[in-house]
Amino acid sequence: MGDRLQKILSRHGIASRREAEQLILAGRVAINGQTIAELGTKADPERDRIEVDGKLLQTHAPQFIYLLLNKPIGVVCTCNDPQSRRTVIDILPSPYKHIYPVGRLDYNSSGALILTNDGEFANYLMHPRHHVSKTYEVWVKDIPNEQKIKQWQEGIMLEGKRTFPAIVNVLQVEHPPHQNSRTLLQIVLSEGRNRQIRKMAEQFGHPVLALHRVAIASISLNNLKSGTYRHLSDREIATLYPSYLTVSVANLSC
């Protein structure tokens, strides 16, 4: 009996469930001294000795942390960078070095990013079927006409697959002297393809000049300054992850 190994690793904050699967397939996980390289293997952390890269897994799941960070430009959304660039983990104080980002924001993009050590929570937010919305403010070159805005709202073919409908509003148009005009768009997406806004803007002939994510679902940056973070409230976590309240009550009763 027991749970699937990737679920246990996720619940213990080692990685999201998807990333935990990659750890297993890479042969970096062992149960009772035997390396496991197949998905579907079950274990009981209270009875079995589970190791990741030779480090013993704690019997009980750690206390979960949920942070909202305003990611600056020039920082990568990863825990370790082979190019030695500054990462989002480098921004955080030492007690939070064991958490990881949920999803990604480009190196040249800024804004709202959630970090956690709750793998189930991370897996829920990143799963395509949950359509967690994200709101962006995006400066693009020149002024998109109404037809292009409508196409963006309805969805277009991008890399062989149609994009989901999106909310696209024009917030501001500027005509700087001796420079090209630019337009500030508010864009709300319910899917998370890689560099989707930049690719769509390029396809429309209005490349992105600056991209800032202002909200994830109803969780807004508000006055959170660039490079700073705050803890999510229980209410905020529950709006993102409906199972949170059930899990919290269960933990309190243990």
Please give the pLDDT value at position 154: 96
pTM above 0.75, yes or no: yes
Q: What is the rounded CA–CA span in Å between residue 224 and residue 69?
A: 8
Please give the pLDDT value at position 15: 75
In the chain, % of residues over pLDDT 70: 94
Please give the pLDDT value at position 252: 36
Please give the pLDDT value at position 254: 35
Beta strand pairing call for 167-174 and 161-162: unpaired
Task: Enumerate the H helices of 69-227 as residue ranges.
Answer: 88-91, 119-126, 146-154, 196-204
Q: What is the rounded CA–CA span in Å between residue 216 and residue 167?
A: 14
Short-list 99, 125, 152, CA closest to 217? 125
Q: What is the rounded CA–CA span in Å between residue 142 and residue 78?
A: 33
> DSSP secondary-structure letter at 111?
E
User: Residues in the chain with pLDDT < 50?
Assistant: 246-254
Q: What is the rounded CA–CA span in Å between residue 104 and residue 130?
A: 17
Please give the pLDDT value at position 156: 94
Choose, from 106, 118, 142, 234, the residue flagged as catalytic: 106
Q: What is the rounded CA–CA span in Å between residue 108 and residue 248?
A: 37
Please give the pLDDT value at position 133: 95
Q: Is 106 a catalytic residue?
A: yes
